[in-house]
Amino acid sequence: MPTELRTSSTFCDTHLTIMEQRTLPTVRVFAPGFWGEVDRFANYCHESYAFPDRDKRAVSGGTAHLEKAITLQALAVKLRPGLDIDRDQLNKNGFTRAANSRELSTVIEAAVLELYSSVDCTVKVLHAVYGKSSRSFPGSTRKLFHNIDKVTGDFPAELKDAIRTARWYNGLLYWRDELTHLTTGQCSLDHNTGAVNYLHMGMRQNGNAYVIDDVFAWLDEAIEKINAFSGIVFRLLNST
């Protein structure tokens, strides 16, 4: 199943990225000038919305899960040299336990699950805001993305467009669904390009085993696009 992701280096201007937030002084506890759209909504939404505790957690969860994904991405970078150890073992002994490959694959898969959870939390916030005014607003993230044109009521057209054009979603959903029930995939180093490939024999892509030729590039782009999507959503919510 295609991931529908393309590499790009520009984050959405409306949403301060986690990496940028890490550069802020740790003693600053109230600095609206440094907030992104999610931060702004989280700090001010209580004046407009009486969210129950579950929805309050969803507000903070979107950023928290994205930050976890970025942390796991950084850990994956640290584990990447271990693939050379597996390769050396294979060349020297004729076999390898591929322990480093499994570690790296596990971390990357955990990052994918965190990315989906970030999107899921964002949709839960949308449901908390618009669900009561629209009976057609589905309760699940999957149904919202797959049935966005059926949503009626006062749900903004800009948000419909953001969801409708999120071509990255189906690839992320497929990977998340399959990882819930399958064992860990495996990573290997492409000796010609230096890229890290991801392979899962239990998942299918056009009838073949599921392969991502450059999983680090995939992860970079997924983080970027989900970060941008959150920025669009919460920018509009901040105007309500």
* Token pair for 173: 């959903």
pLDDT above 90 covers what percent of the chain? 52
> Based on the number of CB atoms within 10 Å of its own CB, is 86 exposed (0-12), middle (13-18) or buried (19 or more)?
buried
Region 120-146 average pLDDT: 90
What is the number of other CB atoms lying within 10 angstroms of the CB of residue 162?
18
Region 145-154 average pLDDT: 92
For residue 70, give Cα distances in angstroms to 20, 111, 216: 12, 7, 12
For residue 146, give the nearest of 170, 174, 110, 168 by alpha carbon.
170
* Token pair for 192: 């010609």
Confidence of residue 218 (pLDDT cuts 50, 70, 90): very high
pTM above 0.75, yes or no: yes
**71, pLDDT greater than 60:** yes
**28, pLDDT greater than 50:** no
Looking at residue 90, what is its pLDDT?
77
